[in-house]
Amino acid sequence: MSDYDAEDVRNIALVGHAGSGKTTLVEALLAATGAIAAPGSIEKGTTVCDHDALEKELRHSLDVAITSCNSQGKHVNLIDTPGAPDFLGRAISALTAVETAVIVVNARAGIEPVTHRMMKAADRRNLCRMILVNQIDAPEADLATLTDEIRETFGSECLPINLPADGGQRVIDCFFRPGGEATDFSSVEEAHSRIIDQVVEVDEALMEVYLEQGQALEPEQLHDAFEEALREAHLIPICYVSAQTGAGIPELLDILVRLMPNPAEGNPPPFMKGEGARMTPVQVTPDPRLHAIAHVFKVVNDPFRGKLGVFRIHQGRIATDSQLFIGDARKPFKVNHLYRLHGAEQIEVAEGVPGDILAVARVEDIHFDAVLHDSHDEDHYHLRSIECPVPLFGLAINPIKRGDEQKLTDALHKLQAEDPCLHIEHNASANETVLRGLGEQHLRVLLKRLADQFHVEVDTKPPSIPYRETIAAPAEGHHRHKKQTGGAGQFGEVFLRIEPLERGGGFEFVDATVGGSIPGQFIPSIEKGVRQVLDEGAIAGYPLQDLRVSVYDGKHHPVDSKDIAFVTAGRKAFLDAIDKARPVVLEPIVKIRIAAQNQAMGDIAGDLSGRRGRISGSESRSDGRIIVEGEVPLAELEGYESRLKSMTGGNGTYNIELSHYEPVPGNIQKQLCDAFKRAEE
């Protein structure tokens, strides 16, 4: 039996921009609770969470790491996440395992791009949130101004729950034991009053006691209302800490164990049953007596220990010798060993309760985002999908050594299984395998792993741009496929119409036939023919999107009609319709965010304009730097990193995310279409 219950569990994900000090913060928490003898060092490569050889070499986190500690009788699971924009997908995936996201902010750097994105991701996931200002003892830190900026950026519900004192050398509690000690800004009394006012607003009875009777409220009386305020995002506490010196660590631990929600107090996980239009929400509760339900949020392919699946238990208990199903599989697997993770260390345990984060090894069918359960009653359960950034940076690769093709394919599949933001494409027309990730560093790390872990060396080159095709007008198409040989013939005739959908509308296939003009068993064959064109492209060799295809009439033959006949008829009728529907090539437009020194603004603006870009706004910061935001075609960003370094003396950085697709200029469309025709010939 576990020595704690679900009510004693706290699940915390530390998220935020690279350099905010998340890994050092975990070390401080582990040391303060006795989980480790002394804090490790990033510089020396001795931290619990940055245990991978490449992380030690680069001195920053590349993947999610899990550890835990015990404090005041509570079991606190800590998830350290990477903060570089290139590894944002891994950080976002960790949010499915927790009730609370702690957004860590560097007191010197302030609110950075990943801070914004992780705050939004936690909000979309409906998590309770806390903002943690780290490195408060830095001489150049202006904590009062930063606190105002946090409230201006993220809302007035962000309120300090403690305050720094003595130049960031210590932290004063403003909630549990409010007193009259001096602080670096504001006052304990003001902070206490503001946070109590915010909490009682969610509980009318408590507000009446507080306002009308003038009665002081004890922390225990406020607990339920505090949890409700966190769930509703009516309150986002701000804490202050210096992970390096330990200032504020005891106060932070107190808040984590006494105020952050346990699995029953957080917002329920968004589990669904079924797919598509038939998908319905289902209730999953942290009751250890119910069927076991867990969600896999991380997969690791260890060359020595095999595949490791890391999961969060949401309901029921899981013990060694349990029989678990993966998704809708009919055959269960047996849990031979169950592990709690402490960085790279795997500690065997006998059982897990709701809220526990554990792992199983050597289960080949386990995969990222899988739901594990012990009863067929939970077949077709899944967690609502996370919204990961779209991987836009690409590299075309080929193995250097002849005969390594299969070895490369196997390695890429294992890497893709671990990484929600790694996409692998095979461009048949260009005969190239393309890795797509979130940035140049993301792809460099993947290539390093290919070489070091899987012993595959590859050549690289810039990939084709992920253009798309669509139509600009409705049209109708028709094709009769008739083939007569010495034996059985082939016959199928299809009439269909196509119409454009709004950008981002995807693809819809509609069976609008009536009267049995085409027997129902041939409709999937027509769709198959349509999808062949959808994948291969019609005018320039790029996938089609944002259109609806409706099959409304056709003819069949009682003897000669076959699936292959309707695949061909559907394909050629679709091509006939596209030819009449004003087809266009779309290009990806990305949002770009550039950080550089103020004096580089003119060069950056001129360069973006020359790349068909548009600036949407800029923001000057107090540290002499400027943030430039805009939109630019992805095709125009080849070599941009070196160009930006040249313009800014190496001080400029940028990140991008997909915004939308829009038609390419006419001259570019003609070039792409002509190249496709030449390739076909």
- Report whether 157 contacts 130 (CB < 8 A): no
pLDDT, tens digit (0-9, with 9 covering 90-100), for 518-544? 999 999 999 999 999 998 899 998 999
Comparing 91-100, 266-275, 391-400, the range with the smallest average pLDDT is: 391-400
Q: Answer whether residue 369 shows pLDDT above 80.
A: yes
Take residue 603 and report the two structure tokens written for it.
């060069």
Q: What pLDDT does residue 466 have? A: 83
Q: What pLDDT does residue 428 have? A: 62
Q: Answer whether residue 288 shows pLDDT above 70.
A: yes
CA angle 379, 317, 308 (to 5 degrees): 75
Q: What pLDDT does residue 164 have? A: 96
For residue 596, name the pLDDT band (cuts at 50, 70, 90).
confident
pLDDT, tens digit (0-9, with 9 covering 90-100), for 453-507? 899 999 998 877 889 999 999 999 999 999 876 667 899 999 999 999 998 889 9
Compare 220 and 368 and report the one with higher pLDDT: 368
673, containing H or E segment:
helix 666-680
What does each C-alpha distance from 439 to 111, 176, 389, 445, 506 come to in angstroms?
Answer: 21, 44, 11, 10, 25
Phi first, then psi: what are they for 290, rounded to 5°?
A: -90, 175
Q: Which residue has the tokens 């798309």?
A: 468
Q: Span 369-379, mean pLDDT?
A: 95
Q: What pLDDT does residue 427 have? A: 67
Q: What pLDDT does residue 120 have? A: 94
For residue 349, name the pLDDT band (cuts at 50, 70, 90).
very high
Q: Tell me 154's DSSP state.
A: H
Q: What pLDDT does residue 392 have? A: 80
Q: What pLDDT does residue 35 have? A: 96
Q: Answer whether residue 430 shows pLDDT above 70.
A: no
Please give the Cα distance from 575 to 33 (Å, whole number). 67
What pairing do the DSSP bridges indicate for beta strands 583-597 and 547-555?
A: unpaired
Q: Span 596-607, mean pLDDT?
A: 90
Q: What pLDDT does residue 678 have? A: 77
Q: Point out which residues pair with 397 in neighbouring strands.
A: 433, 460
Please give the Cα distance from 12 to 58 (Å, whole number). 25
Q: What pLDDT does residue 327 have? A: 92
Q: What pLDDT does residue 463 have? A: 78
Calculate Rg over the CA atoms of the chain.
Answer: 28
Take residue 638 and report the two structure tokens written for it.
């080849």
For residue 657, name the pLDDT band (cuts at 50, 70, 90).
confident
Comparing 242-251, 425-434, 557-566, the range with the smallest average pLDDT is: 425-434
pLDDT, tens digit (0-9, with 9 covering 90-100), for 577-590? 999 999 999 999 99
Please give the Cα distance from 132 to 158 (Å, whole number). 11
Q: Span 13-38, mean pLDDT?
A: 96
For residue 560, name the pLDDT band (cuts at 50, 70, 90).
confident
Q: What pLDDT does residue 223 have? A: 92
pLDDT, tens digit (0-9, with 9 covering 90-100), for 101-124? 999 999 998 998 899 999 999 999
For residue 214, name the pLDDT band (cuts at 50, 70, 90).
low
- Report whether 89 contacts 298 (CB < 8 A): no
CA 204 to chain CA centroid, nearest Å: 37
CA 290 to chain CA centroid, nearest Å: 30
Quote the pTM value: 0.80
- Report whether 201 contacts 234 (CB < 8 A): yes
Express as a percent the part of the chain with pLDDT over 90. Answer: 74
3-state SS track over 156-193: CCEEECEEEECCCCEEEECCCCCCCCCCCCCCHHHHHH
pLDDT, tens digit (0-9, with 9 covering 90-100), for 176-204? 887 778 999 999 999 999 999 999 999 98
Compare 557 and 66 and report the one with higher pLDDT: 66
Q: What pLDDT does residue 429 have? A: 57
Comparing 114-118, 351-355, 483-487, 646-650, the range with the smallest average pLDDT is: 483-487
Q: Span 614-627, mean pLDDT?
A: 83
